[in-house]
Amino acid sequence: DTAVSQTPKYLVTQMGNDKSIKCEQNLGHDTMYWYKQDSKKFLKIMFSYNNKELIINETVPNRFSPKSPDKAHLNLHINSLELGDSAVYFCASSQDARGGYEQYFGPGTRLTVT
Amino acid sequence: LAKTTQPISMDSYEGQEVNITCSHNNIATNDYITWYQQFPSQGPRFIIQGYKTKVTNEVASLFIPADRKSSTLSLPRVSLSDTAVYYCLVGANNAGNMLTFGGGTRLMVKP
């Protein structure tokens, strides 16, 4: 009955590979997000989808491509992985994109690129 | 851009009240103030949110002065399990780069 789930929890891969992280929420929320948390613990928004439509696309390399097959899922695909992509990636959801709605975060995916 | 500034770390003892202040001088009219708690190896967890004045729930209180340029998260009678990083976030959920959390405040509760 996990509200926001992510798979895998850990991902170790080599530079140049392509990998995906999956996210699902069972809260019936309209809006989902991807965040990156670096080694200094700063959480930075990467993307946000509202009802399967992209509404936030921050300055991230276009090697990162989100895909939302339905409003309960927001997957993150990363091409040609680089060492600097190593971080913890969090998925989150909120009731909608307006202010005043809390975000529910997943457990995170720790990506290590070697 | 409503950047936030918080103390990097704070120490407290069990049973004390802890107040963490966040400065957000450039807060916009539509911005909400939200506080999250994060334990190691977990995602942030919502604590409390407010727009103005005072908000209280079962775990914390949030004090927001009239000018809204700062806010104070108050944790009553902390316990060891409150040791975590606390993030202040200012903005709306559709506000792009306003959803960047700052470095947070690392609270250490000692016995």
* Chain B partners within 8 Å of A33 (Cβ): 99
Contact A96 B93 (CB under 8 A): yes
Distance (Å, whole) CA A45 – CA B101: 8
- From the list A41, A45, A105, which residue is nearest B99 (CB)? A45
Nearest CA in chain A to B47: A102
* Chain B partners within 8 Å of A50 (Cβ): 94
Q: For the segment B75-99, what is each residue's pLDDT rounded down to a tens digit?
A: 999 999 999 999 998 886 666 545 6
Secondary structure class of A1 (helix, strand, coil) = coil
Pairs of residues, one from chain A and one from chain B, whose beta carbons lie less than 8 Å apart: 76
* Chain A partners within 8 Å of B102 (Cβ): 42
Contact in structure between A90 and A106 (CB atoms under 8 Å): yes
Q: Pick the residue of A103, A110, A111 with the most B CBs within 10 A to test the interface with B by mutation.
A: A103
**Between residues B26 and B78, which one has the greater pLDDT?**
B78
Q: Lowest-confidence range among A39-43, B23-27, B43-47?
A: A39-43
- pLDDT for A40: 79
Say yes or no to pLDDT of A95 above 60: yes
- pLDDT for A54: 84
Per-chain mean pLDDT for chain A: 91
- pLDDT for B62: 98
Secondary structure class of B82 (helix, strand, coil) = helix
B 82-101: CB under 8 A from A? 85, 87, 91-97, 99-101
- pLDDT for A57: 77
Handedness of CA B51, B33, A30, A27 (dihedral sign): negative
B80 CA to chain A: closest CA distance, Å? 21
- pLDDT for A9: 96
Distance (Å, whole) CA A76 – CA A92: 12
DSSP B66-109: TT-SEEEEEESS--GGG-EEEEEEEE-TT-GGGG-----EEEEE
- pLDDT for B90: 86
**Mean pLDDT throughout A39-62?**
84
Distance (Å, whole) CA A30 – CA A23: 14
Contact in structure between B63 and B54 (CB atoms under 8 Å): yes
Q: For the segment B45-58, what is each residue's pLDDT rounded down to a tens digit?
A: 999 999 999 999 99
- From the list A35, A58, A103, which residue is nearest B93 (CB)? A103
Residue appearing with tokens 């802890």:
B18
- pLDDT for B94: 62
* Chain B partners within 8 Å of A107 (Cβ): 41-43
Task: State the pLDDT confidence band at A79, using cuts at 50, 70 and 90.
Answer: very high
% chain B with pLDDT above 90: 72
Distance (Å, whole) CA A94 – CA A102: 6
- pLDDT for A42: 83
Say yes or no to pLDDT of A4 above 70: yes
- pLDDT for B96: 58
Contact in structure between B45 and B36 (CB atoms under 8 Å): yes
A21 CA to chain B: closest CA distance, Å? 15
Distance (Å, whole) CA A66 – CA B7: 34
**Mean pLDDT throughout B67-80?**
96
Question: Which residue type sits at B63?
Answer: F
Picking from B83, B77, B74, the residue whose alpha carbon sits closest to that of residue B110 is B83
* Chain A partners within 8 Å of B100 (Cβ): 42-45
Per-chain mean pLDDT for chain B: 90
Contact in structure between A94 and A51 (CB atoms under 8 Å): no
Say yes or no to pLDDT of B2 above 60: no
Say yes or no to pLDDT of A84 above 70: yes
Distance (Å, whole) CA A106 – CA A108: 6
